[in-house]
């Protein structure tokens, strides 16, 4: 007897709302991400161009002279862009090896390490610098490989890696759900490592399409914005800031450039990034 396999069309779209008013720049998200995802480390990590940080916290300043200076921290995971139509993320559409893919089930942009042959086209296409290339073989000094997480494969030289929204945690949660004969997850069953670690509760993660998830409401905050929205990348990371200069910094307008009505401030002050 053949069991009828019913395909349940999932309309999930996982995303985040990061409250920049709450973020203190402590870096717990960065470290938690590294520990969870077996991110490698080298003797010198001060060149941030080759330092692999799936989650990176940027420091923004309003660049006003003392004492009117202000600082804002901005955590940047992969933005898991949806693109103009579902799945048309900048990186996915350029990958010649189908090593990065858009999941129609969850909206997560994946990175399949064994398929990647390191052309780095995706890195060039990503406007958020969210992708990193393994220029060297990762080395865990003797004994340190003990803390590696078996749920995440260790990457090797010559391939690109990035934030996966801790997809292995989704798999783990789904496995458990299936075992209990469920097809849907509770909101708290699947949370990323950075969300869990944030001591200030600045990161909220969930299904942007699910009305009962916190992110659904939070993203509608009038102070919510996304990074480089005008590029049409349609990212799934929303940021909230009560400060106008921070919201403006999200779209990188040149001082001589005209702004859309939505972003037009009384007087433009470009933000500096460190």
Using CB under 8 A as the criterion, which residues of the chain lie in contact with another protein when the complex forms? 22, 24-28, 30-32, 34-36, 38-39, 41, 43-48, 51, 53, 57, 59, 61, 63-67, 69-73, 97, 113-117, 137-141, 143-150, 154, 156-159, 193, 196-202, 274
Q: Is 265 helix (H, G, I), strand (E, B) or coil?
A: coil
Q: How many CB atoms are closer than 10 A to CB 55?
A: 26
CA–CA distance, 208 with 214 (Å, rounded to integer) = 8
Residue 230 is given by DSSP the state G
Question: Minimum distance between the CB of residue 79 and another protein, rounded to whole angstroms?
Answer: 20
With respect to another protein, which residue has the nearer C-beta, 85 or 274? 274
Task: Confirm if 18 and 224 have CB atoms less than 8 A apart.
Answer: no
Would you say how long the chain is, in residues?
A: 274
With respect to another protein, which residue has the nearer C-beta, 168 or 263? 168
Residue 262, judged by CB atoms within 10 A of its CB (0-12, 13-18, 19+), counts as exposed
Question: Minimum distance between the CB of residue 152 and another protein, rounded to whole angstroms?
Answer: 8
Question: Minimum distance between the CB of residue 228 and another protein, rounded to whole angstroms?
Answer: 22
Question: Minimum distance between the CB of residue 210 and another protein, rounded to whole angstroms?
Answer: 23
CA–CA distance, 96 with 115 (Å, rounded to integer) = 10
With respect to another protein, which residue has the nearer C-beta, 243 or 263? 243
With respect to another protein, which residue has the nearer C-beta, 115 or 182? 115
């Amino acid at each position: 007897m053949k069991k009828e396999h019913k395909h349940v069309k999932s309309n999930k779209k996982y995303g985040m709302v990061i409250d920049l008013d709450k973020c203190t720049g402590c870096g717990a998200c960065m470290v938690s991400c590294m520990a969870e995802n077996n991110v490698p480390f080298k003797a010198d990590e001060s060149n941030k161009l080759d330092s692999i940080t799936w989650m990176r916290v940027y420091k923004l300043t309003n660049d006003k002279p003392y004492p009117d200076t202000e600082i804002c921290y901005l955590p940047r995971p992969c933005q898991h862009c949806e693109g103009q139509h579902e799945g048309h993320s900048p990186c996915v559409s350029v990958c010649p090896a189908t090593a990065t893919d858009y999941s129609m089930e969850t909206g997560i942009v994946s990175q399949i390490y064994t398929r990647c042959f390191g052309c780095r086209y995706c890195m060039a296409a990503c406007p958020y610098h969210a992708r990193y290339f393994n220029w060297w073989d990762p080395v865990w000094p003797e004994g340190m490989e003990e803390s590696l997480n078996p749920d995440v494969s260790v990457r090797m030289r010559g391939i690109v890696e990035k934030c996966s929204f801790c997809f292995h945690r989704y798999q783990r949660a789904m496995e458990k759900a299936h075992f209990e004969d469920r097809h849907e997850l509770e909101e708290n069953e699947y949370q990323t490592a950075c969300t869990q670690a944030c001591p200030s509760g600045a990161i909220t993660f969930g299904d942007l399409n699910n009305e009962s998830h916190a992110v659904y409401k939070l993203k509608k905050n009038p102070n919510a914005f996304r990074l480089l929205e005008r590029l049409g990348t349609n990212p799934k990371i929303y940021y909230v800031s009560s400060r106008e200069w921070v919201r403006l910094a999200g779209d990188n307008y040149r001082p001589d450039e005209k702004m859309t009505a939505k972003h037009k401030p009384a007087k433009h002050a470009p933000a500096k990034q460190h």
